[in-house]
Chains A and B, each alone.
Chain A
Amino acid sequence: MSVVERPSGPDIAAALSRVATRRILVFSPTIHFRLSPGDRALVAPGESVSTGTPIAERTPDAEVVDAGRLDIDAALGKNGRAAGAGRPTQDAGSSALWREGRLEPGELLPEKRSQMATKVGQWPSGAARQERRRPPEPGKWWVGGGERRGKSGRNRPTPRVGGTLLFEKQGRWRAAAGEHHQIVESPVAGIVREARNSVEVTIEAAGAAIPGAIAAGEPSRGYLDVPRLTDGELWASALDVGRAGAIVVAGSRISAQAISRARAMSIRGLIAGSVGQGELRDLEASQLRQKASLAPSVPFGLIALDGHQRRPIATPVLALLAALSGREVAIVTDPPLLIFDVSEVPLPDLSPDWIRVRSGIHAGREGRLLDTAGLYRFRSGVHLEAAVVRFVDETDTTILPFADLERFIF
């Protein structure tokens, strides 16, 4: 192939306009925390949250509970006595809500408890306290006796269960409730835009973020560790206990071994160019097992910046990560983002004609766009619109399909 002279400004601009753009930074991103039946939001729309603020309480073992009659009239009856009086335990129903609604300070469980795993009765914020005084409606937090699950034994103590109301039928409410609860802390500072029990909490995060292609695991937070990579890779053995609490940049690909090791070393997250679907499946299964055991675990998240097939991290992104090294960053999974809240971060200098190959046999390579090559016959006799590119450290040019290229914008 011959060396092609770089075209003049307007020509290259026209050629560049045909290259897909990739935004390296997004500002004030909106992030989502999906909730399930039994989960409640601990924040209200408009509320400001900082890192570590409890934003939701999950009920991982939620099951259907007969919450009974929860309206005042039905609860007290026309003659003023409890409607449930004299009924079997399963049907007795009214007192639970109003005890729950008027939970006395003395009933609170001891305050000195891990925030990761709480039991029913803790009210982390004043907003939640207000929430209790609302009339029953779908999604409302409910606390009641464990016998309502229909599992009470004669000599067994009946634990209290908590969750959210599901629906009302013929005056009786069903709830999704469980014994165990987990607090979800915000990994970022920001403003709550939406908070609905059983549905989701949405936060507009303060700061900026690097978008990823894939995320897995849980939202997590830690200091950013950018170790020296060998041929664009980080060996799994480099993930030692000294990196506990860090979010580590792991190079072009995350292996299953690296994920297991990182979790064992209390590393908070991994960032890489790509991660295979098999590794994602392993991680998901591992997390499900951990949730099923109800053992509290340190949140762990991972982000792949490009996709599933192996390719190195783009140099502008790597430069940005290097500039953020040592700072607190957060991985969020919905959408996949690496969020950081710093007032200043040096942006890498990028030539406007700097491009990267995002797919195909040259995936991950970077260089400069020189010219267009029109409709070009590629391998397998496929005709595609082509660009002339010179890769870094090469003198020859390469002709590539425009669709395989990307360029970076901030």
Chain B
Amino acid sequence: MLVGLLSRVELTDPELLAELAGVERPTVSTLVATWPRLEARTTPPRRIAVLAGSRRQRRRLEEVALRAGWLVSGGSADEMDLVALSRVVLSTQTAAVLLGADHSPGGDERRHLPDLAALTAAAKRLRPELTVILAGGAAAFESTFAGATDIGPAHVLAAAPESPLRSAVPEAVVQSSVVADPVEAAPPQPPAPPEGADPGAEATAWVADVPAPDDKVEGQSKASPEAPPAADVATPPVLAAGRDSAASTIDAERGVSPQILLAPDAGAGEPAGASLQQVLEGLRALPNDSRLGVARSIGSLAYVLDRVVEVVEIGLQGGLRARSEPIGGGHSAVVSSHACFANASFSPADPSEEVIDSVFAWSTTALDRHRLTDRLHDLRLVPWGDADGDGAVFRLAAAKAAFSRLVDATAELTAYPMPALTVAAGGIFASLPPSVVALAIADLGRRPGIGQLVCDQARMLGPLGAVEDEAERRRLLANLADDLLVPLGCLVLPAGVKSGRNAGQLRLQGIDTTSEIELHPGAIQVVDLPPGRTAKADFDFRDTVRLGTRGHHFSVEVGGGLCGLLVDLRDIPLRMSDRAESRRAALDAWQRGMWPGVDE
């Protein structure tokens, strides 16, 4: 691909190639062979068996494992017999077993734990390649695994501060994803706050950037329990965006594969389960995982642009939703949170009935269930194929269905206001017309506010996230920011628009033109505003609406994009008929408005 690309550059603009190469008369083959490479790859899906003493505990653990991007097979001793549980654990599809219990297990799960621990230890002896994670109270059964593995004592990962599981074993997992400005970062030692820094506001950045003696991962930070709160403002849930997995760090340190891990329970961390999620995500993902790379790039981008950035990435092996927000005085630090879901793939490997239903719900074409299932399976077999015509329409439905599953699974992120910048990433969005990508974001990210929509068309966020050095990544993103993301447009989404003939007026003042548009409730209206242009939009609503604040009149600066300015006056949340035909007709009408060439 690189050869082809450079050959085209050579044909069209040899001087540009010479400039890129830094030498006179460069040859493409030499450049390809000598240029440094940055490699990022998607981690193949891996399955974890979740075992618990009770159904309640199993669900909590499953939820955490799902958020960490695992495919999950679960079972609890009060629901399944031991043969069925053994079948789950001994399946060669299963790469890891998570046996968990509450920090102080209740009677309902305590009585089953000895059996489950013995079963897991036996499975470990049968399948030495299995990684076992003992979470929460299940860690008390660590001795059951003596003899099941010969790699020495169990490793303790990311124990919660209050957890008794903390040990002297090196701790390599980030407790917080607060990433500070590396330029302002404290020197490696001794830790001292930057001079002149506001002790209150900058403390977060300073503490976050203090490398702990046992913190071996460059660029990662660890917030100690004594660290001051990140900020007084409401911040997103704090999760790790570490570039190396906990497991891989320990691998490097010990030269062995960590196979019995002690982890915090499913309630530890903020939000609940965050600590365990970190551990599981670290175990699952490759060090240069491109999906987590997108999350890291978004963190850097939020810093570079000094804006709240949210990304929705939908891929073949899963999906990601991440949010990064600059905080602190001078916005010198960024808090990030993310969740990966294997089930948020646009074509999951083994789609459940719920997945089929969700594709049905977003499909604008009438397909019988079997045919839709066949198409979804074939989409997995040839993910880049059938991308035009009705294939494109089906792909959009599959992408929206995945998007909706992702939104449903990340309610805590949906609770935040609309971000200033929403990024659509993933190959399925890259192959669709920009207008329908914008429509998909408007359909599913229904939060009142005004935000810019962009698309990672070149799919560079993942690879850039594989750049290890935070400062270097920020420099790269700062240089590429104008070209990296394709501007789709600006979305204006007011809440509280009442039905009727007229919702109000929009007056859009550009550099040389002014246009006045009547606003219609229940419609999504598009106003032409090319990329790179800005305009002043004055909204004069008939009723009081919520657009950040409540009011009738709003005056905002909006940026352009390939679709222009989108004023979405539909309900929040989107109300559609339960009847399939009516729902399909409504979706089709909105889609045709944004995708005039759909029937070509």
**Interface residues in chain A, defined as those with a beta carbon under 8 Å from any beta carbon in chain B:** 14, 18, 32, 34-38, 62-64, 137-139, 165-169, 174, 176, 196-200, 213, 276-278, 307-309, 358-361, 363, 378-382, 384, 401, 403-404
Contact A380 B92 (CB under 8 A): no
Given A34-B92, A380-B597, A384-B431, A403 and B119 touching (CB < 8 A)? no
- Could you give 23 example pairs across A and B, Cβ below 8 Å? A14-B4, A36-B87, A64-B82, A138-B123, A138-B126, A168-B122, A169-B114, A169-B115, A196-B126, A196-B127, A198-B90, A200-B92, A213-B381, A307-B381, A308-B374, A309-B375, A359-B391, A360-B385, A360-B391, A382-B389, A382-B432, A404-B382, A404-B386
Contact B119 A167 (CB under 8 A): yes
Cα-based distance from A107 to B127 in the complex (angstroms): 33
B446-489: which residues lie under 8 A (CB-CB) from chain A?
none
Taking each of B83, B91, B378, which has the highest tally of chain A beta carbons within 10 Å of its own beta carbon?
Answer: B83
Cα-based distance from A154 to B179 in the complex (angstroms): 72
Shortest Cβ distance from A42 into chain B, in angstroms? 17
Cα-based distance from A199 to B119 in the complex (angstroms): 14
**Interface residues in chain B, defined as those with a beta carbon under 8 Å from any beta carbon in chain A:** 4, 81-83, 86-87, 90-92, 114-115, 118-119, 121-123, 125-127, 370, 373-375, 377-378, 381-382, 384-393, 431-433, 595-600
Of B122, B378, B382, B386, the residue contacting A138 (CB under 8 A) is B122
Q: B84's closest neighbor in chain A, by CB?
A: A37
Q: B378's closest neighbor in chain A, by CB?
A: A307
Cα-based distance from A35 to B127 in the complex (angstroms): 13
Q: B388's closest neighbor in chain A, by CB?
A: A378
Chain B neighbourhood of A198, CB < 8 A: 86, 90, 126
Q: B393's closest neighbor in chain A, by CB?
A: A380
Cα-based distance from A62 to B388 in the complex (angstroms): 50
Shortest Cβ distance from A366 into chain B, in angstroms? 16
Given A37-B87, A166-B82, A200-B92, A380 and B388 touching (CB < 8 A)? yes
Of A34, A167, A277, A384, the residue contacting B373 (CB under 8 A) is A277
Contact A382 B385 (CB under 8 A): no
Shortest Cβ distance from B174 into chain A, in angstroms? 35
Of B91, B119, B375, B595, the residue contacting A380 (CB under 8 A) is B595
Contact A277 B385 (CB under 8 A): no
Q: A178's closest neighbor in chain B, by CB?
A: B83
Chain B neighbourhood of A403, CB < 8 A: 382, 384-385, 387
Of A18, A137, A379, the residue contacting B600 (CB under 8 A) is A379
Of B122, B391, B392, the residue contacting A166 (CB under 8 A) is B122
Chain A neighbourhood of B83, CB < 8 A: 37-38, 62-64, 166, 176
Chain A neighbourhood of B597, CB < 8 A: 380-381
Of B92, B118, B370, the residue contacting A278 (CB under 8 A) is B370
Contact A384 B388 (CB under 8 A): yes
Chain A neighbourhood of B431, CB < 8 A: 382, 384
Contact A401 B91 (CB under 8 A): no
Of A32, A36, A168, A359, the residue contacting B386 (CB under 8 A) is A359
Cα-based distance from A363 to B375 in the complex (angstroms): 13
Chain B neighbourhood of A361, CB < 8 A: 389
Of B86, B118, B375, B596, the residue contacting A168 (CB under 8 A) is B118
Given A37-B87, A276-B370, A359-B382, A401 and B387 touching (CB < 8 A)? yes
Given A62-B83, A167-B118, A199 and B388 touching (CB < 8 A)? no
Known: A168-B122, A380-B389. 20 other contacts (CB 8 A): A18-B4, A35-B90, A36-B87, A37-B87, A64-B81, A137-B125, A138-B125, A139-B122, A176-B83, A198-B126, A308-B375, A309-B375, A359-B391, A360-B385, A379-B389, A380-B390, A380-B433, A382-B387, A382-B388, A382-B433
Shortest Cβ distance from A363 into chain B, in angstroms? 8
Chain B neighbourhood of A278, CB < 8 A: 370, 373
Shortest Cβ distance from A273 into chain B, in angstroms? 12
Q: B356's closest neighbor in chain A, by CB?
A: A277
Given A37-B90, A276-B370, A380 and B392 touching (CB < 8 A)? yes
Given A277-B373, A380-B392, A309 and B378 touching (CB < 8 A)? yes
Cα-based distance from A303 to B381 in the complex (angstroms): 15
Of B4, B119, B126, B595, the residue contacting A139 (CB under 8 A) is B126
Chain B neighbourhood of A36, CB < 8 A: 87, 90
Shortest Cβ distance from B213 into chain A, in angstroms? 40
Chain A neighbourhood of B4, CB < 8 A: 14, 18
Given A361-B389, A381-B600, A403-B385, A309 and B374 touching (CB < 8 A)? yes
Taking each of A35, A197, A277, A307, which has the highest tally of chain B beta carbons within 10 Å of its own beta carbon?
Answer: A277
Cα-based distance from A138 to B123 in the complex (angstroms): 7
Contact A359 B378 (CB under 8 A): yes
Q: B127's closest neighbor in chain A, by CB?
A: A199
